[in-house]
Structure 1
Amino acid sequence: MHKGRLMFWKRKKNKPTEFKCSECGQVHSEWPALTFNSPANYHTLSDNEKLEIGKLETDFCEIHYKDQIDRFIRVTLTQKINEACETLEYGLWVSLSEKSYSDYKENFNNPNHETGYFGWLCNDIAEYGNTSSIPCDVITKIGNDRPEIFPHQDFDHPFVKDYYNGISKSEAENRINEITKNVG
C-alpha cells in the first residue's frame, strides 16, 4: 500500500481530534491532510529504477522511460464532509501532458499564474481500490498554493460520487485512522 504523510492522530473523549505531525513534531488539533509522498507510478518502481529513471522532488516527479517521459505534479483535493464544518484534505499527484507540465513548471514561482489543465489522478486511495487514472481538472491558484483538482463528474467511480455527494464525519475519521496506521 502506498503510504501517506507521516502523521499520527489520536482522539480523546470529549476533546478535539489531535495528531502529532512527524514532520514538525507538534501536536495539532485539526485534521491532518492525507498526503502521498509520490505518485503511485513512482512508488511502484524498484529502488534501482527510482535511481536510474526516476526524479522525485517536493512538487514535481518525472519518470524517464526509453520511449517516453511521465510527468507528475503535486495537487490538493478537498473532500466535503456532510453535516460537519470540517473538510478532509488530500495531497495527491496527477499526471500532466508535456505541454501542461512545462507551463506549470515554468510558472511555478509566479504568484499570479492562474490556469487550468487536464490531468489523471495518480494515487490509489485505499478505501476505493484503484483510483489511478480518474480524469481531473487541475486548477492553479493565485499566490503559489498547490493546484486543486476536481474529478470529472461524469466519470463513473465511487470516489467521484463521494467527492460530489460528500462523506460522513465518521468515514473521514476512519480514513485518517487507516492512513496513520500504515505509516511509521
Structure 2
Amino acid sequence: MFWKRKKNKSPKFKCSECGQVHSEWPALAFNSPANYHNLTDIEKSEIGKLDTDFCEIRYEDQIDRFIRVTLTQKINDACETLEYGLWVSLSEKSYSDYKENFNNPKYETGFFGWLCSNISEYEDMSSIPCDVMTKIGNDRPEIFPHEDFDHPFVRDYYNGISKSEAENRITTMIKNIA
C-alpha cells in the first residue's frame, strides 16, 4: 500500500492486495506474529506453519500457537477509527477450540491471549495480556488489552490517539511495507 494525500482532500491509499485506490484509512495488518517474523527462513520452513488466520511454531519442547485478530483504536479528534490486524498467542486448549469452530458462523466465545505483534511506535509489546472475543458471522476475533496493564499501547487504546498520530502510523506502516 502507499499513502497519498492531496491538499484539502481525503487521504487516498492504493491497496497492495486489490490494486484499487481507496479513500478510507487502510487497516494496519501484520502478515504474521512477531515470533514467526523473527525466525530465520530456514526455521520458518522447518518449524513454522503460517496461513492467513493461524500460525504454529513447533519447537522441540513446545508448540506456540497464534491467531489473527483485530483491534479498533479510538481517534480523539476524528470520526474515523484506526483498524489493526494483529496476532495473539493462545493456549493449546483455546487455539484448538477456535480452530475447530473457525467455520461456525454462530460461534461466540472469549479467550485469554498475549499480543504478538509489534507496532513501531511502541517498545516491546510481547507481554500485553488481552481478552480475545470471537464474533458471530465468522469475522476475525477482536482483542481488548487488559486496562490495568501498564504499557503506553494500553493507555493509548483506552485514552485514544490524535488524528495526526493515526496518520503518522499509517505512513510509517506503508513505508515499512514498500
3-state SS in 2 of match to 1:127: coil
| Count of residues in Structure 1 that have an aligned counterpart in Structure 2 | 178
Deviation at 1:129, TM superposition (A): 1.5
Deviation at 1:130, TM superposition (A): 1.1
**Aligned position for 1:54:** 48
**Aligned position for 2:143:** 149
**Aligned position for 1:81:** 75
**Aligned position for 2:129:** 135
3-state SS in 1 of match to 2:144: strand
Question: Structure 2 counterpart of 1:174, which letter?
Answer: N
Distance 2:127 2:138 in 1: 26
Q: TM-score scaled by structure 2?
A: 0.99
User: Which deviations, in whole Å up to 9, do the C-alpha atoms of 1:104-131 show, x marking residues without a partner?
Assistant: 0000000000000000000111101111
User: Which deviations, in whole Å up to 9, do the C-alpha atoms of 1:113-169 show, x marking residues without a partner?
Assistant: 000000000011110111112000000000000000000000000000000000000
Q: 1:100 aligns with which of 73, 76, 94?
A: 94
User: Which deviations, in whole Å up to 9, do the C-alpha atoms of 1:8-28 show, x marking residues without a partner?
Assistant: 121100111110011100000
Question: Structure 2 counterpart of 1:29, which letter?
Answer: S
**Aligned position for 2:153:** 159
Q: TM-score scaled by structure 1?
A: 0.96
Distance 1:71 1:140 in 2: 16
Deviation beyond 3 Å, 4+ runs, structure 1:
none
After superposition, residues 115-130 of structure 1 pair within 5 angstroms as 115-130=109-124
Question: Structure 2 counterpart of 1:9, which letter?
Answer: W
**Aligned position for 1:18:** 12
User: Which deviations, in whole Å up to 9, do the C-alpha atoms of 1:53-79 show, x marking residues without a partner?
Assistant: 000010000000000000000000000
Distance 1:64 1:174 in 2: 36
3-state SS in 2 of match to 1:128: coil
Distance 1:27 1:151 in 2: 32
**Aligned position for 1:67:** 61
Deviation at 1:83, TM superposition (A): 2.2
Distance 2:67 2:170 in 1: 23
Question: Structure 2 counterpart of 1:107, which letter?
Answer: N
**Aligned position for 2:104:** 110
